[in-house]
Amino acid sequence: MERSANALDERSKRVLWAVIESYINNPGPVGSRYVTKKYAFGYSPATIRNIMADLEEMGYLRQPHTSAGRVPTDKGYRFYVEHILEEEIGYHSDFAKTILRRFKSIMQDMESILSETTKTLSALSHYMAMAVSPGPEGVTLRRIELLPYKEDRIAVLILTDEGIIRHHIIKNEFRLSASDLSRITNFLNREFAGYTIKDIKEELINEMIKDKEEFDTLVDRALRLCTEAIETYGANIFITGLTEILDFPEFADIERIKELYRTIEDKHNIIKLIDKIAHSEGVQVIIGTENPIKELHTMSVIASTYKDKDRPAGVVGIIGPKRMNYISAISLVDTAARILTKILEEGGEGWKRRK
Amino acid sequence: MERSANALDERSKRVLWAVIESYINNPGPVGSRYVTKKYAFGYSPATIRNIMADLEEMGYLRQPHTSAGRVPTDKGYRFYVEHILEEEIGYHSDFAKTILRRFKSIMQDMESILSETTKTLSALSHYMAMAVSPGPEGVTLRRIELLPYKEDRIAVLILTDEGIIRHHIIKNEFRLSASDLSRITNFLNREFAGYTIKDIKEELINEMIKDKEEFDTLVDRALRLCTEAIETYGANIFITGLTEILDFPEFADIERIKELYRTIEDKHNIIKLIDKIAHSEGVQVIIGTENPIKELHTMSVIASTYKDKDRPAGVVGIIGPKRMNYISAISLVDTAARILTKILEEGGEGWKRRK
DNA sequence: CGTTAGCACTCCTCTCCATCGAGTGCTAAT
DNA sequence: ATTAGCACTCGATGGAGAGGAGTGCTAACG
């Protein structure tokens, strides 16, 4: 009955698949009899038990306690999603329709779109949804405006190609007049428009401050002013739909909820996760302990990057229990990423109206 | 032993006070013996029992079940906070210091300040904190800017006296040029600066659209454009610190947490609550069933309005279990409201630097 | 007449234990 | 290799009983 440690024959695969599907559809360990009833394999429970014992030995399943049914391990889920990912991922047209309809009515800045996306995504998937806006390296400055605000304040408006808008208030340290500001604005746009925020932040400003002696004081002041506004630029994280997953039996334990809530409230935590996803191609599935965030070891994350000019811009995804409907979740996330990529593409040409 | 239905003699008051304080300090019904031990009244438990029975009859206390200790009713808490409110409310200087220190470093727009305020408030009180930014009727337009953005988009920037900044993207339906926009901007500022958003929304625009024939088409277009941007203006609600109250024994029940979370996630819900508070003077305490929101019947809300030009602008407050430390919570909320009022006052004169 | 000691009683909470049932692992038969 | 049969394990369920906190009542007291 010995079989090589990692090779799964066809029959084992089918049983493993059956166990995982059963477990996803209703919680609680799945037993050998249930599998034989639900899936007509043509084997008796005893045979299935043998196979399940093998699968356990190989690390795909485990027993919560002796004489309970089997439950998939992270390795088991991994097997399951690998097979899903091999298939063509279905474009989720319901989702696409819903979300495009919403966008048509708002047609707002990118971050409003991301916020709407997470809402739609969590409503349709019944899991938590998250989205991350492009970071400094993925955002190209289109226009910067310095406007006189209050007596000693200036409002800085940053408009980007990606449809992200940020405003910022800075002190008018040098008591610059409206016409000064207008001149500075022109200068800034001439110098910096078309560069990414990251480039502006790291290279240009440093460089120009270095040989500032060559410039007149107004330019020097312009650089100092916009430094503060530029430096605060950071990606925004949107997370919605905690209520959606609250009813899953895996959150019957109150400590779990508290832990989860604390984890997502601390958004810096999520950054770690994003890095892992941002530089990979296609839909990423992170199961349980594969997650760098310890608090999410009981959860699965499905995420994908959306792109701008063929470079990864931001991340969109779903967070749910490990026992989640991977097929529909993967399809939803993939669709979301495609839509966001499309919006950015069209945005580059001026956000043409969809027909 | 009968005594008139609502009059509390001095001794009863002292006992009631003792029971409530005991209950606030540690959960679980408080018994007659505990009271005599902890507070040296000079009476035996039996006497206290009699008094407590009277207090129960009058509706200030109740028994969770026969032969348990007493627990305050909402009426009991009401008695308690009325006495607190009669006293001079202590200015919470720790809080004031902390928050002013933070503001000094950010010195940002009003909504960032509100966001920071809730964070500090929840961290210091260990309850949930909320804040509401001024609504359309409390916000005076200082400046509006229309900037060409993408090919067929215009970015609208709204700057207000209260330090609230909003940006909005609208369609450039009329293919207006940069110089058109600049002329429109001038026109809008000339006409509307100094009015509240509400006034602009309701009266001015309607009026001007009515006799639009008298105006040239550019003005007509200007009005239409800014209508959309103005109309979306709404108050923002900030709520932080759910994690702070998660550990209180009243949330040992998982359903309670879910319910609470759903309640605060639906921000429209909170609006109802705000109305009740916004038009009252001083610190408001809303105990349990006094709350118009049914889901908050097990909670208490402590809130106060902050003002701008002597008119109520927004609301800041704390949400916690009924069994909460009212004395410190009231002091914190009062201090927060005063600070925000002060910031708005100073903002009116140009956000002068604090010395 | 208010106050107090004493005592029976109530009701919650915790723990223990028996039962039940689902599901396994093993063995022997096919 | 597969299967039927069976003993066994372990969690879940629920009832019984002990323990304890606290009350309400009564009768005695100053």
The predicted model gives B46-69 an average pLDDT of 93
What would the DSSP string read from start to end of A174-231?
T---HHHHHHHHHHHHHHHTTSBHHHIIIIIHHHHHHTGGGS-HHHHHHHHHHHHHHH
pLDDT of residue B214: 57
Residues B126 and B242 in one domain: yes
Mutate to test the interface with A, among B152, B169, B239, B267 (most CBs of A within 10 A): B169
Amino acid code (one letter) for A218: L
Q: Is the CB of B331 under 7 A from strand D?
A: no
- The pLDDT, as a whole number, for residue B8 is 84
Residue A50 sits in the same domain as residue A105: no
What does the pLDDT look like over A88-139, one tens digit per residue?
A: 778 888 888 888 777 765 567 899 999 999 999 999 999 999 999 999 988 9
CA distance, residue A234 to nearest chain B CA (Å): 15
At residue B139, the 3 state secondary structure works out as coil
Q: Do B343 and B242 belong to one domain?
A: yes
Rounded CA gap, B227 and A303, in Å?
38
Residues ≥6 apart with Cβ < 8 Å to B219: B184, B187, B208, B212
Q: Using an 8 Å Cβ cutoff, are B81 and B72 in contact?
A: no
If you average pLDDT over residues B261-269, what whole number do you get? 85
Its domain, for residue B327, covers 93-133+236-348
Packed helices B326-348 and B93-106: angle between N→C axes, nearest 10 degrees: 40
Q: How far is B124 from chain A (nearest CA, A)?
A: 17
CB within 8 Å of A67: residues ≥ 6 apart: none
Rg of chain B over CA atoms, in angstroms? 26
Domains held by chain A: number: 3
Within 7 Å of a protein beta carbon, the nucleotides of strand C are: 2-6, 9-12, 21-27
Cα separation, A108 vs A130, in Å, equals 19
Domain containing A40 — which CATH number?
1.10.10.10
Domain shared by B123 and B263, yes or no: yes
What pLDDT does A157 receive? 93
Q: Is residue B254 part of a domain?
A: yes
**Within this chain, do residues B178 and B224 fall inside the same structural domain, yes or no?**
yes
Q: How many CA atoms lie within 13 Å of B305's alpha carbon, on the beta-carbon side? A: 21
pLDDT per residue, tens digit, chain A (355 aa), is: 444 445 788 999 999 999 999 999 988 999 999 999 988 888 999 999 999 999 999 999 999 998 899 999 999 999 999 999 998 778 888 888 888 777 765 567 899 999 999 999 999 999 999 999 999 988 999 999 999 888 788 999 999 999 999 998 888 888 888 888 898 899 889 888 999 999 998 876 676 666 655 556 777 777 777 888 888 899 999 999 999 999 898 888 888 888 898 898 888 788 888 888 888 889 999 999 999 999 999 999 999 999 998 889 999 999 999 999 999 999 999 999 999 998 888 764 444 333 3
Question: Exposed/middle/buried for A61, CB within 10 Å: 0-12, 13-18, 19+?
Answer: buried
Q: Which helix (DSSP H) or strand (DSSP E) does residue B183 occupy?
A: helix B178-192
Task: Say yes or no for a CB contact (<8 Å) between B169 and A108.
Answer: yes
Task: Indicate if B165 and B63 belong to the same structural domain.
Answer: no
- Whether residue A84 is contained in a domain is answered as no
Window B34-63, strand D contacts by Cβ < 7 Å: 34, 45-46, 49, 52-53, 56, 63
Q: What is the mean pLDDT of residues B280-296?
A: 93
* CB contact at 8 A, A322 and A308: no
Q: Assess whether B160 and B65 both reside in one domain.
A: no
A165 vs B contacts (CB less than 8 Å): 155, 167, 169
CB of B41 within 7 Å of some strand C atom: no
Task: Please indicate, yes or no, whether residues A241 and A198 belong to a single structural domain of this protein.
Answer: no
Q: What is the DSSP string of B76-128?
A: HHHHHHHHHHHSPPPP-HHHHHHHHHHHHHH---HHHHHHHHHHHHHHHHSSE
Nearest residue on chain B to A170, judged by CA atoms?
Answer: B108
Residue B93: CA count within 13 A, CB half-sphere = 0
pLDDT tens digits for B243-256? 999 989 888 888 88
Length of chain A: 355
| B interface test, pick of A111, A149, A236 with most B CB neighbours within 10 Å | A149
Nearest to B167 among A151, A167, A246 (CB): A167
Indicate whether B331 pLDDT > 80.
yes
Residues B110 and B247 occupy one common structural domain: yes
3-class SS of residue A282: coil
Is residue B182 located within the same domain as residue B297? no
Structural domain contains residue B82:
no
Task: Specify if A85 maps to a domain.
Answer: no
| CATH, residue B120 | 3.30.450.40
User: Which residues, including other chains, have CB under 8 Å from residue B58's CB and lie 6 or more apart?
Assistant: B5, B6, B8
Which residues make Cβ contacts (< 8 Å) with residue B177, sequence separation at least 6?
B148
Strand D, CB < 7 A, residues 41-60 of A: 42-44, 46-47, 50
Cβ proximity of B195 and B140 under 8 Å:
yes
In a domain, A304, yes or no: yes
Tens digit of pLDDT for each residue in A312-330? 999 999 999 999 999 999 9
| Contact: A171, B107; criterion CB under 8 Å | yes
